[in-house]
Amino acid sequence: MNCFSEKIYLTMTPPTEDDAKSDKYRLLQALREAGYDRVSLPLHVLQTLYPMCRDCEYKLTATLVYREEDWVVEALEPGDTRKHHYGLAADYGSTTILLQLLDLNTGKILSEARETNRQRTYGTDILTRIIYTIEKPEHMEELQKATCETFQLLLEKLTKETGIHAKECPVMIISGNTTMMHFLLKLNAWTVFSSPFAPVTAEPGWVWGRELGMDFSGMIYMMPSASNYVGGDIISGLLTMDFWKKEEVSLFFDIGTNGELVIGNKEWLLAGAGAAGPALEGYISRFGMQAGDGAIDSVSIHGKQLSYTTINHKKPVGICGSGIIDLLAQMLLNGWINIAGELNPDASPSIIYLEEEEQYAAVYATAEESGIGQPLYFSQTDITQYLDTKAAAATMVDCLLESAGFSAEELEHCYLSGAFSAHSDLESAITIGMFPDLPREKYICIPNSSLEGARTLLLDRSRMQDIHELIERMYCVQFASIPDFLVRMQAAKFVPHTDMSRYPSVAEKLKTKL
């Protein structure tokens, strides 16, 4: 293994009156003899040398963490503890944080835990959280504390599941976007969103867990960003794919609360990012929800009849992002909505008029079926808002392709990542115009490329060179500066698009339904 952390068993010569060199000298000398020349010894580790060295007769294990410029002695333990060597990889998302515990001797994933990011208390979208932090200085402290509390819950979960003290791991690699890193470091994130869009830092580097207020004794490395909007989660994701080392041109689209895209090959890389919004995770609707027990996650319509499945087969209590995608696609193909997304009340008795809201809605679960004792529905307003979000995502793909001078048909592969793409049906997403109508074999779905990249780096520190190369080669496009972006969005608000020639497979499906 070529991990960011290494454990070295050392047998040192004890001091005598004739050889009274210090414990620190003996430790660093033993490490130099083992091939570690540039070594830093922090004070809190130095303080453990006595009486440990005397008690273990100068036979101990040093845990070192690699920082490119040097190695840091993260911990010292009496005796030979090399067989117990663990590390952590994290995907630090705005909605959910995932943490994996790995055996650094084998590379095996021992356990994975996930928690809703407690930052959500301060806003479902990132901009709301940023505004909250600039209202009062203490709000920044609150948000950072909420983040650390989430990480602590995850560490406790992993410890409970494995019996391994996760908080004592020597190293954690965190992958997240630029704004999220600012929140974790208690930096002003308004710099990410305001002109001239220069963040406080794009390369947070290394910090000790205790510096962040975590009950974590090890060191934390945070993935660097390419720009204010193209964050470390995208750099991390690219580590899991090799298209940027090939001749052929491919596209990478990480879609969640935000949408980040990269197109290119071994010669060039073009990136862009924009807000996709909480709609893709189901939050726009009155009954929209994150994926969880009782969430409708798939929908099928046959003529006038609608059926669904729920997560863990519980009674439906709402609908998550994958269910909404299916619902819209199925309503289009069965005539429940037209290409403008307008509901057709004659198509099914499930389409009702809401007197209080003065609009139509499609009922996908009756009061008798639902787990909350009232009908669950998707209203005309919900459809309109969702199509706005869908249009933004589709337009970002369009604009990035045009900026690169390529058509969708010329792509070798289209890599999709993020919770949305991992759980949603690709066919349904293409049917509503979220993604280009390409041969399906060109699509490769990666459930969580951000987490995979963090794990990849944790297990192979040589990939740092790839990170430096990616950032150096990448040019970032600002979608807000594209003059006709909003005009393109208007065309993409239709289902799947105003130009049906761009979606031949959908046109064919609609033709067979007539």
Using the predicted structure, report yes or no on whether residue 508 has a pLDDT greater than 50. yes
Give the neighbor-by-neighbor strand order of the sheet with 359-365.
351-354, 359-365, 376-379
The rounded distance, in Å, linking the Cα atoms of 235 and 389 is 24
The rounded distance, in Å, linking the Cα atoms of 134 and 129 is 9
Q: What is the mean pLDDT of residues 5-32?
A: 95
Using the predicted structure, report yes or no on whether residue 156 has a pLDDT greater than 80. yes
What are the boundaries of each domain within the chain? 5-78, 86-222, 244-278+390-450+462-506, 279-385
Common-topology check for domains 86-222 and 244-278+390-450+462-506: yes
Compare 390 and 422 and report the one with higher pLDDT: 390
- Residue range 244-278+390-450+462-506 forms a domain whose CATH class is alpha beta
The rounded distance, in Å, linking the Cα atoms of 112 and 124 is 24
pLDDT band for 257, please (50, 70, 90 cuts).
low
Give the pLDDT of residue 279.
Answer: 45
Question: What percent of the chain is predicted at pLDDT more than 70?
Answer: 96
Q: What is the mean pLDDT of residues 236-263?
A: 89
The rounded distance, in Å, linking the Cα atoms of 89 and 220 is 10
The rounded distance, in Å, linking the Cα atoms of 514 and 327 is 19
Question: Which distant-in-sequence residues (6+ apart) come within 8 Å of 230 by Cβ?
Answer: 178, 260, 262, 271, 272, 273, 474, 476
Give the pLDDT of residue 419.
Answer: 65
Compare 323 and 513 and report the one with higher pLDDT: 323
Q: What is the mean pLDDT of residues 4-31?
A: 95
pLDDT band for 330, please (50, 70, 90 cuts).
very high
Tell how strand 59-66 and strand 39-40 pair up.
Answer: unpaired
Q: For residues 220 and 174, is the Cβ–Cβ distance under 8 A?
A: yes
Chain mean pLDDT for the chain? 92
Give the pLDDT of residue 273.
Answer: 82
Task: For residue 72, count other CB atoms closer than 10 A to its CB.
Answer: 22
Give the pLDDT of residue 277.
Answer: 53
pTM of the model: 0.90
- DSSP H helix total and E strand total for the chain: 16, 22
Distances (CA, A) of 504 to 51, 323, 495, 497, 501: 75, 24, 13, 11, 6
Nearest to 363 by CA among 321, 407, 417, 301: 301
Q: What is the CATH number of domain 86-222?
A: 3.30.420.480
Instruction: Give the three-state DSSP class for 102.
Output: strand
**Token digits of residue 240:** 């899991």
Hey, CA dihedral for 398, 401, 405, 411, is it positive or negative? negative
Q: Which fold has domain 5-78?
A: Ubiquitin-like (UB roll) (3.10.20)
Element (H, E) at 151: helix 137-162
Q: What is the mean pLDDT of residues 474-481?
A: 82
